Amino acid sequence: MKPIYSLFIFSFMLFIGCKTEPKNSSTEATPVTEKSIPEKIADAHGYENWKSVSEITFTFNVDRDSTHFERSWVWKPKMNEVTAISGADTLTYNRKTMDSVAYKRNGGFINDRYWLVAPFNLMWDANNYTYEHTEAATAPISEEPMQKLTIVYANEGGYTPGDAYDFYFKDDFIVREWAYRKSNQAEPNLVSTWEDYVDLEGIKLAQQHNRPEGGSSLYFSGLSVKKE
């Protein structure tokens, strides 16, 4: 997935003359490597604060015509524990030890979580995708000039192998629109906005995702973030 760049500091001591002479020392650092585009997007959404998050709750909602669908989640990332709430049905499971029932439910969690924190998945999934950055692109809904980050997942593993996502953003690296392309096909299967951002404990989350054709609304409610 995403390439991560690290800063290595090299220190050395230069000794001159016998050991009774004073030691001259100097420290030399390699130039700071600029962060990758996926890292910049993640950071713009508060990724540096994620390490302190102990619990996040959210409800994934979809309104289509006269129907309403929702499911709620309580996620404790440090414990890798998820509680799924759908109607009167509640299931708590650990993602390291899932049975078949939990695995099926976890598919819904992965989907809903991706809609919520996809910028962070650019970091979490870094070893499972390749990416390309386009500096001058046109956003599919607003038709505004934006930058584009395209990621293509590996063909094996995960819930959506081989799929591609296009993230559209401006110079602040906040995602404003995106497109999903199944199996990396040329035309998108879905495009939507990222809007109505809220800042919770330094984590920036888009609460609303609108599609250009209308007729449906995808949004989050019940958002809360707890830190250690």
Per residue in 98-133, pLDDT (tens digit) is: 999 999 999 999 999 999 999 999 999 999 999 999
**pLDDT at residue 63 above 50?**
yes
Domain 9-227, CATH: 2.50.20
Q: Which residues on neighbouring strands pair with residue 208, listed in sequence order?
A: 195, 219
pLDDT for the residue 129: 95
pTM score of the predicted model? 0.83
Per residue in 151-171, pLDDT (tens digit) is: 999 987 666 789 999 999 999
Domain residue ranges in the chain: 9-227
Do the Cβ atoms of 102 and 89 come closer than 8 Å? Answer: no
CA distance 23 to 25: 6
Q: Quickly state the pLDDT bin for 213 (edges 50, 70, 90).
A: confident
Print burial letters for 145-154: b (CB count within 10 Å at least 16), e (below 16).
ebbbbbbbbe
Rounded mean pLDDT of 26-40? 79
- Average pLDDT value over all residues in the chain: 87
Per residue in 178-187, pLDDT (tens digit) is: 999 999 999 9
Do the Cβ atoms of 126 and 1 come closer than 8 Å? Answer: yes
